Amino acid sequence: MAGARPTGPVVERGFIIAASLPRRTPVTDHRTRFLQLALRVEALRFGEFTLKSGRVSPYFFNAGRFDSGGALAALAGCYADAVEAAALDFDLLFGPAYKGIPLATALACAYAGRGRDLPLAFNRKEAKTHGEGGTLIGAPLAGKRVLIVDDVITAGTAIREALALIREGGGTPAGIVIALDRQEVAPDGPALSASQAVAAESGIPVIAVAGLDDLLAFAGESTELLDQRERLQAYRARYGCRISVQDAPTGG
């Protein structure tokens, strides 16, 4: 994931803040650890960023900045803690191309370090016509309960493709885990966030290591980020989803 930089958003007046919670208390919560890590590696930045939707966001998240072994290992630990907190039943990890591949691989390594050796699979963007052929690589999906690992859900296209591939391969999607949920409604969609829409459509849970609500709480507890909290709150008030995860409809 080395060298990745934002391609969609255009930084108009961006700046980077390296922030942390007060050091007087140890950090044990995976959401706080994740946000601290994201700030440290500059995967999470504050400023003014024009998104593909045309919205001007006060923050931007780019998982491509977790571009070292140490950063990926720490990130995978946050993913594993979030998944374990959700008590999901699964027995295979799937990483959608492209960012989901290193994320799922790192998570598999994290679980191996905790004594659970999980099979891993991922897909190609284009089908291979020679050698083993096809679009799937790694462990067989047939008969497995599959956890999809990705960075974010924007339009949900990659996730929907992954769901179809898993079902075609004989697997059963058990859940989706992402790093950050922006918790905002689509420009022309229903009053649901992208992750809520995918969960409602597929009937499987979407877990986020952290969401915008967590970022707001984190900013409120950090003296270095207090000046960002008002801008985050204004963005949340304007674009945030109005339906809670518990109230969102679910599909079959």
**Mind telling me the catalytic residues?**
128, 130
Q: What is the dihedral of CA 81, 207, 227, 15, to 10 degrees?
A: 90
First to last CA, the chain: 35
d(C-alpha 140, C-alpha 199), whole Å: 24
SS (H, E, C) the chain: CCCCCCCCCEECCCECCCCCCCCCCCCCCHHHHHHHHHHHCCCEEEEEEECCCCCEEEEEECHHHCCCHHHHHHHHHHHHHHHHHHCCCCCEEEECCCCHHHHHHHHHHHHHHCCCCCCEEEEEEEEECCCCCEEEEECCCCCCEEEEECCCCCCCHHHHHHHHHHHHCCCEEEEEEEEEECCEECCCCCCCEHHHHHHHHHCCCEEEEEEHHHHHHHHHHCCCCHHHHHHHHHHHHHHECCCCCCCCCCCC
